[in-house]
Amino acid sequence: MRKHPVDVFSLVCGLVFVAIASAYIAGAYTTLHIDARLVVPALLVGLGVAGLSAAILAQRRADRRIRSTPLPQAEASTTDDAAGAALSETI
Residue 32 binds other proteins, judged by CB under 8 A: no
Check residue 66 for interaction with other proteins (CB under 8 A).
no
Establish if 7 lies at the interface with other proteins (CB under 8 A): yes
Q: What angle do CA 66, 61, 69 make, to 5 degrees?
A: 25
What DSSP designation does 61 have? H
Residue 67 touching other proteins (CB under 8 A): no
Q: How many CA atoms lie within 13 A of 59 on its CB side?
A: 6
The answer to whether residue 86 forms part of the interface with other proteins (CB under 8 A) is: yes
Closest distance of CB 10 from other proteins, Å: 4
